[in-house]
Amino acid sequence: MKPMKEKNSHCIDDVPYKHYDWARVVGQNCENIVGYVPVPVGIAGPIPIDGVEYPIPMATTEGALLASTHRGARAISMCGGCHSVVLAEGMTRAPVVGVPTLAEAGALAKFVKEQFPLIKAAFESTTRFGKLLELKPCVVGRKVFLRFRAFTGDAMGMNMVTKGVDKALSVIQEHFPKMEVLALSGNYCTDKKPSAINWIEGRGKSVVCEATVTADVVERVLKTSVDRLVQLNIDKNYIGSAMAGSLGGFNAQAANVVAAVFLATGQDPAQVVESSTCLTSMTKTETGDLIISVTMPSIEVGTVGGGTGLQAQHAMLEMIGCAGANQAQPGANSQLLSRVVAAGVLSAELSLMSGLVAGHLLSAHMKLNRKQH
Amino acid sequence: MKPMKEKNSHCIDDVPYKHYDWARVVGQNCENIVGYVPVPVGIAGPIPIDGVEYPIPMATTEGALLASTHRGARAISMCGGCHSVVLAEGMTRAPVVGVPTLAEAGALAKFVKEQFPLIKAAFESTTRFGKLLELKPCVVGRKVFLRFRAFTGDAMGMNMVTKGVDKALSVIQEHFPKMEVLALSGNYCTDKKPSAINWIEGRGKSVVCEATVTADVVERVLKTSVDRLVQLNIDKNYIGSAMAGSLGGFNAQAANVVAAVFLATGQDPAQVVESSTCLTSMTKTETGDLIISVTMPSIEVGTVGGGTGLQAQHAMLEMIGCAGANQAQPGANSQLLSRVVAAGVLSAELSLMSGLVAGHLLSAHMKLNRKQH
Amino acid sequence: MKPMKEKNSHCIDDVPYKHYDWARVVGQNCENIVGYVPVPVGIAGPIPIDGVEYPIPMATTEGALLASTHRGARAISMCGGCHSVVLAEGMTRAPVVGVPTLAEAGALAKFVKEQFPLIKAAFESTTRFGKLLELKPCVVGRKVFLRFRAFTGDAMGMNMVTKGVDKALSVIQEHFPKMEVLALSGNYCTDKKPSAINWIEGRGKSVVCEATVTADVVERVLKTSVDRLVQLNIDKNYIGSAMAGSLGGFNAQAANVVAAVFLATGQDPAQVVESSTCLTSMTKTETGDLIISVTMPSIEVGTVGGGTGLQAQHAMLEMIGCAGANQAQPGANSQLLSRVVAAGVLSAELSLMSGLVAGHLLSAHMKLNRKQH
Amino acid sequence: MKPMKEKNSHCIDDVPYKHYDWARVVGQNCENIVGYVPVPVGIAGPIPIDGVEYPIPMATTEGALLASTHRGARAISMCGGCHSVVLAEGMTRAPVVGVPTLAEAGALAKFVKEQFPLIKAAFESTTRFGKLLELKPCVVGRKVFLRFRAFTGDAMGMNMVTKGVDKALSVIQEHFPKMEVLALSGNYCTDKKPSAINWIEGRGKSVVCEATVTADVVERVLKTSVDRLVQLNIDKNYIGSAMAGSLGGFNAQAANVVAAVFLATGQDPAQVVESSTCLTSMTKTETGDLIISVTMPSIEVGTVGGGTGLQAQHAMLEMIGCAGANQAQPGANSQLLSRVVAAGVLSAELSLMSGLVAGHLLSAHMKLNRKQH
């Protein structure tokens, strides 16, 4: 076998590595490093969210995405902005354990419900911010999956929860000495995989964001009509997705915005998988205007840890006003970030759906994307 | 409302923008640009795939991911590498159209099956490389979703297919003059949303990749046993995911690798959603060794277009040996990239599963990730 | 352990067994027989389907179901009846086979596509009516699932297909001598289990049925308005089901009718699982009337075999006019039965949705169902 | 249009109606009655469940089903029977309501969590047995789905819960006077439709049942080996179902038994849809024996109401020893019925899987089913 290195080691020269503070990265964010990949970043908006204006930073190489999101944000801004609610929050981790009998599995499931305070105390002994909110058991024969859900302050929280779970398991084990921890993650969490449990139970922040866009703005700015938007939303985002067998994909392009904001702000791009699940609804008001909303039950974001400490990513969080841990109100920064994500998705949904109705999907992409071919 | 700009315009200074060839980006890959976000990139492997060594370039800010993937690649390399098959390929786009009666909807569904050559000719008149492979209709009342699937050479192909679909629809319309194109995408495609249709029908490249790892290497390098790996794969990747109501998420961390390779090579990170669906299987051979495989039906990649032309991303493709369009064998470059993605996933699955069995998930992440807290 | 028989053998006296032709049943439809369970049967409708009136026979113990379906059928009849299309048909069976290498698995998947005529000939050598329509392979490591889909005349067809598959496999094995048949059914069929593959690919008959109901009839007979029906259909059948993580359950009560008609006509009630998947759509026409449709991709019915030969069940098929095998046009009888099922579902959807809007769900059920409590 | 009645009114003569106590049925269980359909009923087992023997009454027209279930029950009985746990129970109903703003939707979701005791009191004021256990809200824009889950004694409980929900809503409305009840069922329940929410949250009884079958019995009675059973369970019930995109269908034939026991005991056959979701697991013990379990999270059964009061169906419940309401321990009868269902499924899974491994699926069905062709 011809060794790989000789073939193409020269290309490495095209990968930038200078002018970068590697001290922050090495041993924390990456290994076997050869440099960095620059991803262009732009700002859509600003968009008023619950009365305050925020920018939507997006890092992407997909032409037209930023312009489209910006157009949607502008239309929404012209009508007073959007409103949001964070319905619930909590990062999850679900170890799988084994016990010697089905009866003991049943007893374990009962125990973790009845002795929740005991387990909560053990979990919280490992963390300053983490608060155990819920423990959902799932028995399969002699195996038990234990889905822990915890408030994790401004961190996305996977590591915090994993640490708390580890401790909680050791306390449970005192009462079930024959219990064996098979793995700290049994996929019932579920992390970075499409699954109904996150759609139904939530993971990270569960956010709904909506705006009312006047018929006038729909026509002048978005070049379409409320009726056509509402109808296409039914045909595409409800029926089309239903026929495709989608779980949580009842939207036009939520993932585009989630991925772009995640990259811009140092989030984990693998978590786009579940963070982008979204149902987009559109309704016509009695006065003929459009209400558009996005329901996103599992936006997994943090403003400390992971890639959020890197200079450019941190700058983007600062621009939003949510960098680092919120000392006054732990969790408020990551909540704000989740609302910016949702507002960005709302904007992009509005814009793309308008474009689809008007039939200029193709032309926009062609114009922006195809120069190099 | 206090204007956003005054509040935090200073942070922009921390976003790098110098030493970058913006000419390539402006008007193609991004708008409203303020600079770029650097994402650290490293190389896992090399790993022999079907007898040839390839690097696995990964851009990530998640500590331990590269080291873990590298460890898996090394174990596989020590046992002769991995094998892969590309079972099928084809990018899809599914417009939704309306007709005046149910009978006409039925007739349209029949027509596109019977007159496939006619539609294929129209589609292919718009493209040098594209070949229409299949057209699957789905009738819902008086609406018809038409899922076009086409070979798109070395491009990921969304734009190519959209263009071909546009032309094909105009030919269909000659036979169904009352047909109205409601939208060029009716979510039956399905792009960037979790859906069963991609899992079952495939989208992009459908790849299976496998390796045999000797019991000796499992023990010495991965610090566990074949039996424990096989059992955990059942408990976590089959049963845990089944109980979580997963569609296509029968793996440990496929999305981590898919996202990292996508970022490193200029792919669309929003397509991680469906490109990361994967079933990981593990079996013990009669001689006591481990066979591990990953089945990934919808890896959406290209080596031309999108972000692949940017300098650093292009360099990564060159390092693999799959940059640009393959003149001799159109499609071979993007196929190779899909096989590298699958081999990377295979490596990371092997390594993480071993770590979970051995119980060092927590310690690895803690050591690498938590310094800054 | 106290033997069961002594405890409660007396109850057997309450199970009827006289006045029944057991010769038809023994050794064919049931074993360990102690008698029969009578299920009350009634007739909803008639309803005009594509211009001809048909009754909807329903066997049920759920009070109000027949009355409700009948009311819907009457409203539809007053507006000229319903229209239907059978878009596709074919019973499926998917064995799972194993081969020694991944390469051979890939080769096998390729072989069954390229040598389809050979396999078709083998399949059809075992049956007078069966026609192999499609063979969809699915490779997972060294295992291959082969989903055979065949036209089966007027039989539901599971046995016919299983027999053909058995023969087809023996022919494939000649070319892949190391192939091992692991099981004649590998769950990729999928029979009697909720799965996306039937929803997307169809199984049995794929039927769409629709009706236009005038605003006047909606108001006078159904006591509601078109606007309210259309809106509730969105809120409940699209959004509610989407949020519940449904695959194919975008309807109000399709399963009620499917189960009742299946019981009345001797179908397999376990196949209600997939036969009842249905998307109900409602739209307002420009003239203010209601278009309602049901899309049902996997209605599994037959008019020969199974329970269809039993006297009462056969009488119900005769009443519809679809008993036994259609000599002139094989398959026409089972197609008709599938259209009657769909028309029944259409009627019941219309009626229940109207009742829900009007708020009399509770009262209807209470009045009819609760006497005995 | 030729009137239907003239064509085929004679067939009605073949539908039995004599010797039946119609007084119990009319106005309660069916309307437009023309007679009854007899479904042959037999007894599989008995099988010891948690130390007591029970029969498995099954009404079916599918040949071989009873014999197969009986064989499985016999193998399990020879090894001491099976064990079961009822992990949770509760019937659900989820109305959908509308409020004027997103903020109010968020407030409503918060209110029902914080004021649960108030709502519980209202709910329980309508029922002697019902106990409200949980209220899970789901906000989508300005709509809220409220999934009530209640203990319902020995009744399946849909009507009991609907009544309690109606009352609870009127109390909620006092605090949210602008709230509009859009429908008493918003499909988030979910009743009679495949959906992840029942699989994950449970509905009716959540039961796990398991047995240890010795290697000797596997070989002598079931004619196969433990290793082959365990492997086929992986290939078919885990991987095959995963590839088919199944939600809750990780079993071989659970629906067959559920449908047959439901018919025999007067349950609602439309609820087979979700009551048959099941994951079958098989493991080899250290001593070489087989542990088989079935995990069934949503078995919807009752021993009062619906069809349970009809003579033959009631007799079957009496034979089991669970007819009517359990005065001493409300709910114990319906719990017992759910355990018998699970034990029947366990038996049938064991038997069919053994038959598939041994390759006699075809022959058994052919011999029993095909006489009339």
Measured between beta carbons, the chain A residues lying within 8 angstroms of D87 are 106, 109, 139
The Cα D123–Cα A292 span in angstroms is 34
Complex ipTM > 0.85: yes
**CA C303 to chain CA centroid, nearest Å:** 13
pLDDT of residue D27: 84
Least confident of B1-15, C18-32, C153-167, D158-172: B1-15
The answer to whether residue C362 scores a pLDDT higher than 70 is no
* The CATH classification of domain D40-88+205-367, taken from the options 3.90.770.10, 3.40.50.1010, 3.40.630.30, 3.40.50.970: 3.90.770.10
CB pair distance less than 8 Å for C242 and A239:
no
Topology classification of domain B36-88+203-365: 3.90.770
Sign for the CA dihedral angle at C185, C187, C191, C193 comes to positive
Q: Which of B50, B84, B85 to mutate to test the interface with C (most CBs of C within 10 A)?
A: B85
Task: Say which amino acid occupies C33.
Answer: I
DSSP class of residue D373?
-
A306 phi-psi bin (left φ>0, alpha ψ -120 to 50, beta other): left
- With a pLDDT cut of 90, the percent of chain D lying above it is 90
Residue D223 phi, psi dihedral angles, 5° rounding:
60, 35
Q: Where are the domains of chain B?
A: 36-88+203-365, 95-183
The Cα D11–Cα B24 span in angstroms is 78
In this prediction, residues D57-62 reach a mean pLDDT of 97
The answer to whether residue A219 scores a pLDDT higher than 50 is yes
The Cα A215–Cα B180 span in angstroms is 24
Structure tokens at B334: 């993007």
The per-residue pLDDT of chain B, averaged, comes to 94
* Burial profile D45-79: b = 16 or more Cβ within 10 angstroms, e = fewer: bbbbbeeebbbbbbbbbbbbbbbbbbbbbbbbbeb
pLDDT of residue C346: 98
Active site residue D21: no
Enumerate the active-site residues of B. Answer: 62, 192, 268, 365
For the stretch B249-295, pLDDT in tens is 999 999 999 999 999 999 999 999 999 999 999 999 999 999 999 99
CA contacts within 13 A on the Cβ side of C209 = 34
For the stretch D186-230, pLDDT in tens is 999 999 999 999 999 999 999 999 999 999 999 999 999 999 999
CB atoms within 10 A of CB A5: 12
Closest residue of chain D to A286, computed from CA coordinates: D100
Structure tokens at C324: 């036994």
Alpha helices in chain D (DSSP H): 4-8, 65-78, 102-114, 116-124, 158-175, 196-201, 215-220, 226-232, 241-243, 254-265, 272-275, 311-320, 332-358, 361-369
The Cα D58–Cα B193 span in angstroms is 43
The Cα A113–Cα B278 span in angstroms is 33
State whether residue A243 sits within 8 Å of chain C by CB: yes
Q: Residue A297's closest CA among C249, D244, C242, B321?
A: C242
Q: Residue C35's closest CA among D42, D60, D205, D187?
A: D42
Angle (CA) A298 A301 A307, round 5°: 145
Provide the shortest C-alpha distance from residue A228 to chain C (in Å). 13
pLDDT of residue A252: 98
Per-residue pLDDT band at D12 (split at 50, 70, 90): confident
pLDDT of residue B139: 98
Q: Which residues pair with D246 in a beta bridge?
A: C195
Per-residue pLDDT band at A1 (split at 50, 70, 90): very low
pLDDT of residue A294: 98
Provide the shortest C-alpha distance from residue B109 to chain A (in Å). 15
- The CATH class for the domain spanning B95-183 reads alpha beta
The answer to whether residue C372 scores a pLDDT higher than 50 is no
Q: Which of D6, D33, D61, D369 to mutate to test the interface with C (most CBs of C within 10 A)?
A: D61
Measured between beta carbons, the chain A residues lying within 8 angstroms of D84 are 102
Contact C183, D235 (CB under 8 A): yes
The answer to whether residue B4 scores a pLDDT higher than 70 is no
| Choice between A211 and B8, residue whose per-residue pLDDT is larger | A211
Per-residue pLDDT band at C367 (split at 50, 70, 90): low
The answer to whether residue A207 scores a pLDDT higher than 70 is yes
Provide the shortest C-alpha distance from residue D145 to chain C (in Å). 7
pLDDT of residue C79: 98
State whether residue C181 sits within 8 Å of chain D by CB: yes
pLDDT of residue B330: 96
The answer to whether residue C365 scores a pLDDT higher than 80 is no
- With a pLDDT cut of 90, the percent of chain B lying above it is 90
Structure tokens at A275: 């963070």
Beta strand B249-250 with B278-284: parallel, antiparallel or unpaired? parallel
Least confident of A47-61, B13-27, B118-132, B192-206: B13-27
Per CATH, the number for A38-88+200-362 is 3.90.770.10
Q: Residue C116's closest CA among C173, C180, C172, C183?
A: C172
pLDDT of residue C278: 98
What are the DSSP calls for A217-240, one per residue? HHHHTTSS-HHHHHHHIIIIIIII
- The CATH class for the domain spanning C36-88+205-368 reads alpha beta
Measured between beta carbons, the chain D residues lying within 8 angstroms of B242 are 238, 241-242, 250, 279
State whether residue A247 sits within 8 Å of chain C by CB: yes
pLDDT of residue D359: 74
CB atoms within 10 A of CB D9: 12
Active site residue D113: no
Contact B95, B181 (CB under 8 A): yes
The Cα C168–Cα C115 span in angstroms is 11
The per-residue pLDDT of chain D, averaged, comes to 94
D54 to each of A370, C33, D312, D334, how far by Cα in Å?
71, 17, 18, 14
**Secondary-structure percent of chain B, ordered helix, strand, coil, rounded to 5:** 45, 25, 30
For the stretch A32-91, pLDDT in tens is 999 999 999 999 999 999 999 999 999 999 999 999 999 999 999 999 999 999 999 999
First vs last C-alpha separation in chain A: 35
The Cα B64–Cα B72 span in angstroms is 12
First vs last C-alpha separation in chain B: 35
pLDDT of residue B358: 79
Residue B322 phi, psi dihedral angles, 5° rounding:
-135, 30
pLDDT of residue A27: 84
C352 to each of C58, C66, C223, how far by Cα in Å?
16, 11, 12
Q: Which residues pair with B7 in a beta bridge?
A: none
For the stretch D26-41, pLDDT in tens is 888 999 999 999 999 9
Structure tokens at C363: 């009262």
CB pair distance less than 8 Å for C245 and A199:
yes
Structure tokens at C213: 């109901």
pLDDT of residue B361: 53
Measured between beta carbons, the chain D residues lying within 8 angstroms of C98 are 235
Which subunits have 3 or more CB–CB pairs within 8 Å of chain C?
Answer: A, B, D
The Cα C23–Cα C16 span in angstroms is 16
CB pair distance less than 8 Å for D245 and A247:
no
Structure tokens at B51: 């007898």
The answer to whether residue B62 scores a pLDDT higher than 50 is yes
The answer to whether residue C369 scores a pLDDT higher than 60 is no
What are the DSSP calls for B12-80, one per residue? GGGS--SSS-GGGTBTTTBSSEEEEEEEEEEEEEEEEETTEEEEEEEE--STTHHHHHHHHHHHHHHTT
C-D interface: how many C-beta pairs under 8 angstroms? 493
Contact B15, A314 (CB under 8 A): no
Task: Say which amino acid occupies C267.
Answer: Q
pLDDT of residue B364: 53
Q: Which of D50, D62, D104, D166 is catalytic?
A: D62
In this prediction, residues B149-175 reach a mean pLDDT of 97
Q: Residue A309's closest CA among A317, A299, A300, A301?
A: A317
CB pair distance less than 8 Å for B238 and D242:
yes
In this prediction, residues D105-117 reach a mean pLDDT of 98
pLDDT of residue A369: 47
Contact C340, C56 (CB under 8 A): yes
Residue positions counted in chain C: 373
The answer to whether residue C334 scores a pLDDT higher than 50 is yes
The answer to whether residue D314 scores a pLDDT higher than 60 is yes
Per-residue pLDDT band at A11 (split at 50, 70, 90): confident
pLDDT of residue D363: 53
Per-residue pLDDT band at D1 (split at 50, 70, 90): very low
For chain C, the C-alpha Rg in angstroms (whole number) is 23
State whether residue A297 sits within 8 Å of chain B by CB: no
CB pair distance less than 8 Å for D245 and B242:
no
Burial of B295 by CB count in 10 Å (0-12 exposed, 13-18 middle, 19+ buried)? Answer: buried
Contact D147, D136 (CB under 8 A): yes
* Burial profile A60-80: b = 16 or more Cβ within 10 angstroms, e = fewer: bbbbbbbbbbbbbbbbbbebe
Q: What is Dmax (Cα atoms) for chain C? A: 72
C189 phi-psi bin (left φ>0, alpha ψ -120 to 50, beta other): alpha
For the stretch C130-162, pLDDT in tens is 999 999 999 999 999 999 999 999 999 999 999
Provide the shortest C-alpha distance from residue D297 to chain A (in Å). 10
Measured between beta carbons, the chain A residues lying within 8 angstroms of B321 are 7-8
- With a pLDDT cut of 70, the percent of chain B lying above it is 94
Per-residue pLDDT band at D369 (split at 50, 70, 90): very low
The answer to whether residue C370 scores a pLDDT higher than 50 is no
The answer to whether residue B94 scores a pLDDT higher than 70 is yes
pLDDT of residue B12: 87
